[in-house]
Structure 1
């Protein structure tokens, strides 16, 4: 029993030594396979294999005219609005329009009972006729007094008195004519006509009601919607360019639906306000639209698009070609050997689909528009067409 333990210990140490030797031999073999001459030649062969070109989409820089638009929010306003009121007191005899009706300038709206005003006119006419008859008699007396005066049968005082009577009647007749004109004017006020062409709103009175010249509510509102106006704003930084362009030709303005997808009407800029809103840093503008189809309605909110200017003959590329990096804006330009180089750009305005290049690109050069994330200067590319995109667009 005493000899058994040392023997077992010797066996364990032998097995452990053999295991360690086996691990050392295996590690050496793996290291030889990985770092030996064959591994080095294998890595060299892999490095010698060409890198696959990066698939990209490209576009050509071209010279074109670019319209510069200013987008904003606006509200539609009636071109003119009139509250129709009575200018005399009386009872409504007839209403000649319906609510919401389009009326033309001069159309009959309301007829007020004209009889009291006709009677006043007749009285004024009769009074003038009476005074004219008295003037005829007074002039005859004046002529007789003049003849008597020449023969010393009348005094100068009698003649002057008769002359004063004639002059008084002449003045009275002039007053009568003024009364006639006033009565005739009051009579015309009993017929209320549309002062402009437009659309009527809610009627505030009914037939048979009494109306007064002092009524504040009026009879009906008429709004002119052909043409119609849209008031909107633009940044004050654009004021100089707007004024310069407007001085040459009226600028075009489009009114769009609130989602900016549908064009409702096309009009012209008619007013640049005379002061800037210091609270918002904007300038108010007004555009006129003919609105024959009544697509615009007073009170509507619309998106606006103002054609501020058109850049002539500038170099442009698709907006997706312009990328932003630590050094600013750049693009990958395709070289003749189908590799790319990074080109820093001086970019002007960027529209929804175009970017204006001030410096860094020339018309005719090819730039990458898609696939930038795998590119580096000097990397080879493979140009793919837009067929998948076109198919997807047709399916939509």
Structure 2
């Protein structure tokens, strides 16, 4: 009997403890209320704000963009042609000079004395030749009267001919002496900018020396050399046959305008190691902004493609299957579309396949999009609400 009462007591205590725990949990929010809530309504699809742009048909240039290097058309090392002491340096290092300007003057005294000596010899030889010719004329009259033998006459004629030859030899010596004297003044062979002067006033130079006195580099005009891939060769040849190929060169970190020129050289073979062909453009370089050895950005325009399909380059995305973008359909949902890009010119991409003019693409906000996402153009003006009465 006592066991029965003990068992009943334990069961009653367990039931009371369970009810007390349930009430405490409900008050603490650990369990939902007994009355079920109404079923939730389905949420509306989210609309993502994006920036859109139309697909446009434009005339776009066909270009070759690459890195080029500035190259001097001519570089000349100035050397002496005769031996002598430098008497004067007539220019400053780094100075622009014109062809024919005086650069160096050597000591002229020895050359001038040599010239005077050979000029005196020429005067003597001319006088002797004149006398010999006069004797021939007199002997000719006497030979006709048999006062002078024919043998004597021939000797006089030979002497006169020898004297005339001596005169010609001395005239050549005078010309050579004058030329040597002119070499004492060293002039600029081309227009250009001078470099560092190797020897100053007072140094003795020799024609046999291998070094140069100064180097002159032509700055205006100047070459910009660059390369193009062999796949561009056909376009380059067609453009070169039809008209001049225009080239623009810009200097990195230079705020000045691009410099224009034309292609004046296309190499006659393709480099087998790199698969490229060398070209040169001639630039006027009137302001001397281009400098030999400098690297520049080069854009050569070959032709203009009419009505090319273009989009902003920012619309393009790169995936595992190539380039793609998001096209906005008429129901304002985004659709992924793979495209084939022909080239990028500035901020516009030329599409070879996959788009038509008049369509719209997403240029900002692509990271939030998937196939079928509803979108709105965040640049469009918001719709105004009609006030309710």
Give TM-score scaled by structure 2 length. 0.82
Query: For residue 217 of structure 1, what is the aligned residue in structure 2?
Result: 211
SS at match of 2:291: coil
2:310 is the counterpart of 1:316: yes
Q: 1:179 is matched with which residue: 151, 161, 173?
A: 173
Q: C-alpha distance in 2, partners of 1:239/1:205?
A: 48
Q: Which runs of 5+ in 2 are unaligned?
A: 23-31, 382-389
Cα deviation for residue 222 of structure 1 reads 1.6
What corresponds to 1:157 in structure 2? 151
- Per-residue CA deviations over 1:235-287 (Å, capped at 9, x if unaligned) read 23322222322333333333333458765633332222233222222222222
**RMSD of aligned residue pairs (Cα, Å):** 3.3
Distance 2:253 2:13 in 1: 83
Which of 281, 293, 303 is equivalent to 2:275? 281
CA contact (8 A) 1:257 1:263 kept: no
Match of 2:342 among 337, 348, 351: 348
Change (3 A) 1:313 1:260: farther
**SS of alignment partner, residue 215 of structure 1:** coil
- CA drift at 1:312: 2.4
In 2 relative to 1, CA 385–176 (structure 1 residues): closer, same or farther, beyond 3 Å? same
Paired residues for 1:239-388 under 5 Å: 239-258=233-252, 265-325=259-319, 328-385=322-379
Of the structure 1 ranges 254-263 and 88-97, higher mean CA displacement relative to structure 2 is found in 254-263
Classify the secondary structure of the residue corresponding to 1:226. Answer: coil
Cα shift at 1:184: 0.8
TM-score in terms of structure 1 length: 0.81
Find the aligned partners of 1:333 and 1:366 in 2 and give their Cα distance: 6
Q: CA offsets per residue over residues 136-157 of structure 1, 9 Å max, x none?
A: 2222222233233323333332
Q: Equivalents in 1 of 2:145, 2:2: separation in Å?
A: 193
Bigger mean CA offset, 110-119 vs 147-156: 147-156
The answer on 1:72 being equivalent to 2:47 is no
User: C-alpha deviations, 1:311-342, integer Å up to 9, x for none?
Assistant: 22211111233344565544433333333444
Q: What SS does structure 2 have at the residue aligned with 1:225?
A: coil
1:5-20 superposed matches below 5 A: 8=6
CA distance in 1, matches of 2:230, 2:212: 40
Structure 1 residues 350, 5: closer, same or farther in 2, change over 3 A? farther
Contact 1:57 1:386 in 2 (8 A): no
Distance in 2 between the 1:74 and 1:280 partners? 16
Distance in 2 separating the partners of 1:157 and 1:246: 77
Partner of 1:167: 161
Query: Offset at 1:10?
Result: 6.2
Structure 1: gaps (5+ residues): 24-28, 388-396
1:238 is aligned to 232
Q: Pick the aligned partner of 1:205 from 199, 203, 206.
A: 199
